[in-house]
Every structure is written in C-alpha cells, then in structure tokens.
Structure 1
Amino acid sequence: MAPLTDNAARLFGRDIASFRRSLRARNLSDNTIRIYTDATERFANWLADWDGNDDADPATSWEDVTRHHIQAWITSLLDAKSAGYANNQYRSIQQFWAWWSEIEELPNPMQGLKPPTVPEQPIDVLRKDQLRALLQSCQGREFIQRRDLAIIYIFMDAGVRRAELASLTVDDVDLDLREIRVLGKGRRNRVVTISRRAAVVIDRYLRERARQKWADKPDLWLAEKNKGVLTKWGIREMLERRGRAVGIDGLHPHMLRHTWAHYNKQNLSEEELMRLAGWRSRQMVDRYAASLADERAREAGKRRPLGDEL
C-alpha cells in the first residue's frame, strides 16, 4: 500500500476516494483496484512534496497538474526503480486521469503522452529435464508432497497465473473431464485443461486433503501444519523452495507460465493458446513465447535445409 501523507490527503484524498468507489462500481477485482489506487496515491504523495522545476510549478490541486508534472514523476521513478515498474505506474495513473477528466469535464493531462519503454527481457523457460527433477522432488505420500505436486502439475499443464491458482476452490476442479474453472483478470471466467497424469495427482491430493483439519474449507489449497488456507505468497515461497532443492534458482509462477506457453505454442493455434491462457491480445502470444524463439527457429531450420535438397 501507499498511504497518503497528511498533506496529500488534504489536497488530493477526496478525489482518490471517489476514484476507488468508481472502480468498485465497475466490479473490478480487488487486486486491480489496489494497483490503480496505490499508484495514484504514490503520485499524490510526490505532488504534495514536489517543489517544482523550470517546466511546472508545484501543484496544489488536480487542476494544476500538467503533462510536465507527470513526466517529472515518471523520470523520478526511472531514476530509482526499473523501467517495468515505471511503466506499470504510468499505466495505472492513466486510469485515474481518464476517470477524472470525464468527471470534471476537463482536459486529460496524459493525452498524447507515451509510457516509458521497457527493454525486452525474456523470462527463462524450464527444460524438460528440469521439470522432471521438480516433479520428482515432490514424490511421496505426505500431504505437503501431494499438494505441491498437484500445484506444479496445474502450473505446468494449464499455465495459470498465481492468483488464479490460489483462488481455486474444490468445486472448480472436474477430474473426469480434466478441466478446471479459473477466474482470471477482469473477473473473466475460463476453463483450462490438465493431463491425465495431473488428474491422478490431484485426486491423490484431494484424498489426503479430506483428512486435514481444514478440509471443510471451500478453498482447494490448504497450508501445512493445519494453518488454514495456502495463500498466493505461500505458493510462491513453495516454488522457490522446491526450485532451490533441484538447482533452479529463482523459480517463480511466471516462469512456469512462460514454460507452458513455449511448449504449447508448438501444438496449439494462436486462438487456442489465447483462450486457454486468458489473453485478449495476440501480442501476448509472441511475448510469452519469445524466450526460446531463437531455439525454435534453429530447430525449424534444420528440418529441410537447402543443402539436403540438392
């Protein structure tokens, strides 16, 4: 969270509260509302403390804000944080200014501005031998082993986001059809598929789950040592721990999503990949599959080289 300072709350707090209510009325997810309002509060705090420069004077109201204020704030973020972080903050406050300019019937100061460029940094994709090692590390009859194995299989087979996996309920899983219903970004439901082996693994987890203290909870994933429900943070920590155990440093859910996209891009059409992944833009297909694009191109080039045709 980015709580408003006293000065920022006095100058900008009322409109931010109205903005938050408008987001709730749009039925956006709690996480989306938090991202948009946190960025707006950070910008408000910066405005309240900023002394101005040659391009713009200090702002004491939203009406005072110009493109120069926004550019100065983004520049300050780029000086202290990553380009990806600055880009995320830029796109988040875009939502506030779109709302504010409509409500106040005033020009949007972000009109014509462009977000900071984020250098492309392909995320590592796991090799099949690494995936096998990861699955092997979870073999066993204990509750934690069966739970972790089921989680990794779903990440590997369905390419879901961490928040999607964390929010699953027992009723979302149909093992006979090998389908799982997930709630994605924008509160959009979709159905993803799993392998036959994954269905068996999840079935074994559910049998062990039924013996746990919190078995009556609707949430699919339970924490170890009778601590209740496993959170999305717990899922990330589990993957990091499992990864370190088999020599995969920095393993995280997004790496498994990229791995899923890489292997399935060879077997599915773009339309099928988009629907299963919950993407609305075809650009996401190329972005997620870019990690090993050169390797795929080399393998394709070896299939029928000209030298073998002559």
Structure 2
Amino acid sequence: MGSKYFQVGQGVWGMRLYFVNIYMIANRRGNGKGWVLVDTGVKGSANKIIDMAESLFGLGTKPTAIVLTHGHSDHSGSLKELLRYWDVPVYVHPLEVPYLTGRSSYPPADATAGGGLMTLISWMWRTSPINVSRNLREIDPYDGIPELPEWKVIHTPGHTPGHISLFFPLNTTLIAGDAFTTTRTESAVYTLSYMKKLSGPPKYLTTDWYAAARSVRKLASLQPRIVATGHGPVMRGRELLTALSFLANRFEELAVPKDGRYVGHSAVADENGVRYIPPSNGDPKLTAGVAFAASVAAFLLVRRFW
C-alpha cells in the first residue's frame, strides 16, 4: 500500500500509514523553517515519516516538536523510534501523561461494541504504556504549544482522557485526531479502502461516551472548513459542515453503540491513569472464538491491501 503524502491546507500535509494518518504543520513564524509532527502512526512507520519530512523540508530536517493527539498505539507506535533520530520535545495533554511514562495502561478495547471486522480484532491493539518521559512535555491549557503559536489546542476527551484536537482559526483548519473520524473505523472495508464517511470516534476504543459527545459538539461549534482526522480522508466545505452538524446533533443515535462495555458506564481516569474499568459484558469464550475467526479473516484481508 502506498504512503504518498497529501496536502491538507496551506502549510499542512498528511500521510496515510496503513489505516491511520499522520500530519506535518509548517510554522509560519521563524522564516517558515520550523515544522511540527502530529502523531507518529503505527510501529515501523519511522522511515516513511522521515522520508516525507525530507521531501517537504529538506535533507537532515527534524521537527521542532512532536504533538500527540493521544497515545493509542496507532498514533504513538513509531514515537520511540523517531526519538532516536529526532531528540525533540513531545507534547501531550496532562491527562495523557500516564500512558506515555509507563504508569498506566489504557482500558482494554471492547470487541463487542459497534460490529465490524476491525472491532472484532480490536483486542489485538496494544493498550500497555510506553515510556518517553525524557522528551515528554505537558501542554499548558492557557499557553498552548510554543512551537505552534497560531494553533489552538482543544481538549477533546472521550476517546481517551487527554485527547486533544488542533485548530487554526485563520482558515478554520481542524486536526481532530480520533475525536471523530472521516471513515467507519469499525469496518475493514471502509478503513482499508479509505472510504469517506464522517463518523464518531472508534467505538471499540472509546471509553467515555458522555465526554465524546461533548467533544464533538465543541468541535462542530467551531464550524471548520477543513478537517483532517486520524482515520479517513480530508473533508472540506459544505459537505463537512453538513455532516459534522448532523453528527453533533444526533451523536447518541449515530455514534454511540447500542451495547458495549463502556456504554452507560464510562472508564474513570485521572492524572495518575485509569482508576476504574467497567466489567466486561461479553462471554469470554464466545468473544475469544469470534475474535479468532475475525483474526484469520483480517489476515487474509490485510494481505490483499498491504
């Protein structure tokens, strides 16, 4: 599968790495020489990210900082490898720190929520923490990110406790992470073929649906004209505004799964990590059997696309 980069908007580029996106933002200040990496994709993506950076900004370039929308393994998978090349600060929301300092695992994925092949194999995603303490910097909620002075940092919890989105008011560009997506992440067909469908956050790894609803409505109120998300293609203009307004107004109906471990009972977390995880509501034997069958199907599907 190719990994050619694409332009999101003025000074913003993205690249699809398998089923997840990363982004690079050129800082208009400082003679236009600085740039910031947003998210790092799945493990093993470092060389592709470095190649993209050098194609855009020149040989030997490195970002002034790395920003994580959140620390899930498909967004932080190549972080440790990249830090061996680029010794730069890594900015995260304070509530995301425990998962990037080795203190706490994320709550487990819910393979019963939302249906679809990607949901059924979600138990395979790593939820254990990594430790990048030496490079980690907490985002100041008032000052934002010094290396991105023109971008607003918006706390958008729900998918994870410290999830953030980035907003550029000048041309209303939004990098939404997984606060919502522009494909159906539960579906392997949608996810691997990059089919466009504005949707809520991934159902199998969203652990606080009340917060997720508030976050989507907060982002919809910004009326962005360009949106780049963690999964799916860029959306723009009237198509985006109509779909995002529809999702915000009917979030509980459109985005929240009818059943699931975190439906009605959210996981609870604080600055030290996860404090409470609701009990699983699935039969472990049945879930394991379905997951095994789904894994075989996923292997065959992945061989076709990758």
TM score, norm. by length of structure 2: 0.26
Larger Rg: 1
TM score, norm. by length of structure 1: 0.26
Which structure: greater strand fraction? 2
